Every structure is written in structure tokens, then in C-alpha cells.
Structure 1
Amino acid sequence: MAADDLPGTDEERAEAALIAAAANILGSGNRDVPEDFVVALFAHAVPEDLMRYDPRQLAELAADAWALLAVRKPGVPNIRFDAPALAGHDRLRVDSVLEIVNDDMPFLVDSVLAELTERGIDIHLVVHPVLSVLRDGAGRLTAFKGTKSVPGALRESIIYVHVERIDEQARRAAIVEAIERVLADVRVCVADWRAMVARVADVVAELKANPPPLPPGEIAEAIAFLEWLLDNNFTFLGIRDYGFTASQAALEPIFESGLGILRSRDMAVLRRWNEPLVITAQMRALLEQPTLLIVTKATVRSRVHRRVYMD
């Protein structure tokens, strides 16, 4: 099909022709990279961003991305962050390439991009295809099934990002370590999401079945608020119970109750480091009031979804 016969805008047709040319280069070079992988990787890029590259550059980049798919065990992301040194590719002299292969789940892209943005890193290109693949028991890729869901196939996310050139290997390594922490937070939040929702639903059910001795209007308002949260109006990142110390002077976490990011004993949202949250006179007065719900801000910002102080 000629470029003029492709559907879409002029930019989209030019992009499709560019991707097709890159796929042809890989095919003519007897590469093991399927042509439809090249299309899957780049098809949803912003045309303006992708048109900065020529077909040979895209072919080389796709071959590198394909190699990262070769072996991966479910539950463990593959992350590579390189400063390409491909001879004759002037455009790539100003780019570093971040590639992440992971189990598909919510919040991956926005969480990774938030980490890069917080570090002041300029982003040049982002694509995020989700692929269906088959792997053997050792995690080796045995079949690529395209972008559509296929019964029995794993759904894997590729986050493929070009950023400003970062030649310092130590700096790239530090960024990879930070992204590993981000992805670990995303994983536990997603894994525990149903359990967190169920725990809040249990609180609602208990309030309805055994209401505390408070004004009915306040109880109804609390129930309505919690049900509103449960109606996809809140991103649950973690749940943990707290109790008073023996002296009643501080709150300390009940670690075994933790879900999501609050599984970790190192995650302190109501205290500093390993110190319990000491109760001041003002705080005690607030806690002793017959109030059903208290909404406050944590002392740390989320690494999942949005970089804001958590509620």
C-alpha cells in the first residue's frame, strides 16, 4: 500500500510509512524481530516525536527493544537505561533510551513519568504498547502474539521512553533504582487493591450493622463518604491500623495489618523514621472528640499515579 493510500492525517500517514520502512529494514536484514513488533512498538507514538528519526534508526531501536523481551520472569520488571552510541545516527546523540518490560497493570506509565519529571528530565518520546506473549518456565520468550489479548498469553507492558542525553552511568543507575522502587509500589498497590476495598467495605457494613453512639446524621455522612470513595473516586494506596502505646503517649503502627504500600515497615506516613507519632495535647484533644472520621495529609508523597501528598 502506498503512503498516500494509508488512512488518517498527513502526519499519521507519514508516521505509518516510516514505521513500515523500519519494519522492512529489519525484515531484509534477516532479523528475528517480527515486523508486527515494530508496528506494535511505535504505532501509537505522537507523529511529531517519531518523525525525528529515520527508518534505520527505528529499526535499530526496535531490535534493541525486542532483545529486552527475550527473557523475563513474571513479577520481575526488566529495566534498561542506555545512552545509545549507534554510528551515523545523529539524532540519537541527544537521546537516552529507557525501556521497561513488566506485567501489565494500572498506574505504570504515569508513575514512571512522574519520577522522571520530578528529576527534571526532559522527555522526547513515549510509547506504551501492551503485548501478548508466551514464555516458558524459565521466562524465555517462546511466541509473540501481537497487541490483542490472547487466551493463555501473558499481557506485558513495554514503557519505551526517549529522554535527554544522560552519559553518566552512575546517574542512569540511580534513576533505574528509583524506578524500581516506583514499580514495586505500583505492584503492591495493584495486588492489594481488592483487599483494601474489601476492608473499607467491611467498615461501612459494620457502621450500618452496629452504629456507634453518635448522632445519626454524622454516621450517615461518614457512610456516604466512604461509599463515595469506594465508587472509584479514590485511589487506595495503603491501609494500616494504628494503636496507642502502653503509655497512651504515642501512636504506633500494627504492621501485620498493612496492605499496599503500607505493607512495608519502612513506609512512615504518620511518623518520622522509626519514631512513634508522639501525641501532643492538641492532637489528643482532637482524637478524644467523638468524631467518626478524621481526614488528614500524610507526611510523604505518593510514588504511585500522582506525586502528591497522600490523604
Structure 2
Amino acid sequence: MNEPGRLELLHLAEEALHRLAPGLPADAAVLLRRLHAEVPSAELAAPEGMAAAAASLFALAQDRPPGITRLRVLPPAPGQGAHAVAEVVTDDMPFLVDSVLGALARQGRVVRQLLHPVLAVRRDAAGALLALEEGPGSAPAGTAAESMMRITLGAAPATMLPGQPAAAADDWPALQAALAKALADTRIAVADFPAMAGLLRGAEAEVAPRAEPGAIGFLRWLAEENYVLLGHRRLALTAAGGLAPVDAENLGLLRDTTLPVFDVLRDPGSLPPPLREALAAAAAVTVAKANMRSTVHRPQHADVVVTQIPGPDGRVAGLRLFLGLFAASAYNRNPRSIPLLAEKVARILAAAGYDPEAHDGRALRNILDTWPRDELFQAPETE
């Protein structure tokens, strides 16, 4: 995107930036260029608007101690434009954009424009900005990749998700809090991912003595980038027959001990069906839906993979809850190619008694192949 008209517009924007804030270092112009690098030429703002956007985000980026996210929501105001703006400066990591957009959707906010350069940034030990590198690609020695976002919001909120009430038009503190939580949760989930992945691999060995081959294959399949791990909690079976969390093994989003995953966990008489099933001999691995929407990646109800933990006597001594989201590609896979589901589909087809090559058999197979994966995982075979 280096056509002459575009280059001239960016040059005018740099001149406007120098007039707007003559004391800014040359790195502010680097941010201006990178901030608008992916914007189609026809959608570029006026030079003064581009300059103001770069100056504002550059100011936010001036000081960011290690591991800290800088975030602010700028309400509409005279001289600042008719639309609210959210600005973010943080370490680059997976799921940032998805999580921010999910938080905005939960707040019923419409996104007019998202600018999101990832820059190589040099800071001192306290986090003061020293330099921005011009070129994209891997960060040179002494720099770190930082994600910088400037999000322009629609003038009025709208209900974006089923069951979510529209936010008040001027409740900017609530919007900032929602964005802060999404960004913090993303950081935690990414930081704990290696530990959670290790526990998922270890769960294969834990369930092996009791599990069907399909269940073990399913855990292996999850680990092959088919499941976005967001949290882990270990529940120990108590002497009274209840379940107690082992806080030292709370990881990811489930570091938050107030998140119950299911509504009831400690009263064995009212455990949800997935947990009752997981405590029975025939359910070494089960899949359920959590009672919470994910704040990371996609704003949908999270999935929970429940695995048994055997005690020294071979009996079930506890459960592991792996909170996450199935990868988008998993929803497009034929269920007969997914371990656990493949065996379930085969049992349903066999129980139906149809000739698999006859019309009715092929019709039932097509129904199961196209059935929503979430429902297919959780529905009892008798239904």
C-alpha cells in the first residue's frame, strides 16, 4: 500500500503530528505509520485525525512496567470526536484481539474501527519507552513484541449476544473493567498453558486403566491443537463423599476460586450429571458445558473436559476439570473422525438397527454427521 496518494496523506499526517505535539520524538511518527499500515487508503482518516490517534496511543505507551497492561477508555468529548475509543498497550500474545472483541460484544458495543499494530519495543528496566522499531517481523535483540490497539466504538450500544442486556450508553467504567478482565484473563491463560498442557498429557496415563481406547485417543486428539486450554482445577473426593478443590492446582481462569465451573461441586447429592457420570466406573472422560461464558478467545459458554483421577486402590479419588474451547476447526470435522464421538456415533447407529448402506441408515448417519458438536458430545445416547 505505497501508492502516491496514500504516501502523501501519511506525510501530511506526520506534519500534523509535529504541529499537534512538537515535543514528541521521531518514534511517534513510527507509531503513526504502523498504526495505519493495514488501513485501506480509502478508509484513512484526515491527517489531523491520524495524528491525534497516534499521539494519544503513543502517550499511553510511554510507561509500561514488565507484565503490566496499559488500558484506557476515552469517552466522546468535545475536541476528541463523537465516538468513544479504547486504547491498549500490552505484551503481544495469542487471543488478544479475539478476547477484546469478545469483551466488547458482551458489553453490547459495536466496533467501528480496530487498529492493531504489533511493534518491537525497547524499554528500560522500569518500563519507560526508549524506542520503537520501524520494521515488522521478529523483535530485534533488546526489544520485545508489544500489541498496541486503538478501537473506535459505535455511538450507541447494542445487544450483541443472546441473553446479554445492552449496556448503558455512558457506563464507561463498566466497559473499561470488562476489557481489563479480558486482558488479564488472557495473560493468565497464556501463562499457564504449558502447565495445563502437561496435566492434559498426564491425564492420559491417569485414565488409562479405566478408559476405553476412544477416551484415551480423545485426550490425545485434544492436545493436537483441537482444544484451547483456558483453565484447570483438580477436585479431590473427600471422606464425606464431597468434592474439594485442590487450590495449588488451580490454573488459568480457574486460578479464580470463585469460579464454580458448575453450579454445585461440593454437595454429592446434587452434583451435575457430568460429574456424577465421571465418578462412575464407565466415565473416565466426559465432556460438559460450563455455567460461564469464556472471557478469552470466544465469548461463548466454555467447554469442560472431566477426567478421573484414580487412588492407590484403583478407585476414583478425584476429578480434573479442563476448562476450554474446542478449536473452530473441530466443529467442521466429521464426528466419526473424532475419538470418543466416533465410538458414540457407532453405538447409536448399531442401536438403531438400520442397514448402514440402506436409505434409512445413510439418512441417520448424515443426521449424526451434521449434528451440532456440542450437543453430540453431551447428549445421552438414549436420546
Following superposition, the deviation at residue 189 of structure 1 comes to 0.5
Q: 1:10 maps to which residue?
A: none
The secondary structure found in structure 2 opposite 1:100 is strand
TM, length-normalised to structure 1: 0.83
- SS at structure 2 position matched to 1:95: coil
Which residue in the other structure is 2:15 paired with?
A: 24
| 8 Å contact kept, 1:251–1:279 | no
- The answer as to whether partners of 1:131 and 1:157 remain within 8 angstroms in 2 is yes
Which among 106, 129, 145 is matched to residue 155 of structure 1?
145
The 3 A distance-change label for structure 1 pair 282 and 159 is: closer
- Number of residue pairs matched? 286
Unaligned runs of 5+ in 2: 157-167, 304-383
Matches within 5 A, 1:104-123: 104-123=92-111
Query: Where in structure 2 are the equivalents of 1:99-248 lying within 5 Å?
Result: 99-146=87-134, 147-148=136-137, 149-165=139-155, 171-206=171-206, 211-213=208-210, 218=212, 220-248=213-241
Q: Which residue identity does 1:151 align to in structure 2?
A: A
CA 1:171 to 1:112, structure 2 compared with 1: closer, same or farther past 3 Å? Answer: same
Q: CA deviation at 1:186?
A: 0.5
Contact 2:102 2:299 in 1 (8 A): yes
RMSD of aligned alpha carbons: 2.7
Secondary structure of 1:295 counterpart: strand
Secondary structure in 2 matching 1:267? coil
User: In structure 2, what is the equivalent of residue 295 of structure 1?
Assistant: 287
Which stretch of structure 1 is more off in the superposition, 229-238 or 39-48?
39-48
3-state SS of paired residue (1:110): helix
Q: Which amino acid aligns with 2:15?
A: N
Question: Post-superposition shift, 1:83?
Answer: 2.6
Q: Which amino acid aligns with 1:43?
A: A
Which 4+ stretches in 1 moved above 6 angstroms? none
**Paired residue secondary structure (2:287):** coil
Partner of 1:67: 59
Deviations 1:149-171 (A, max 9, x none): 211202111121001247x9971
Task: State percent identity of aligned pairs.
Answer: 32
Letter in 2 for 1:190: V
Q: Which amino acid aligns with 2:116?
A: H
Deviation of the 1:18 alpha carbon: 2.9
Of 241, 266, 273, 1:276 maps to 266
Q: Deviations over 1:205-257 (max 9, x none)?
A: 455xxx4156xxx1x21121111111111100011111233321x32322211
Q: Does 1:76 align with 2:64?
A: no
Q: CA deviation at 1:140?
A: 0.8
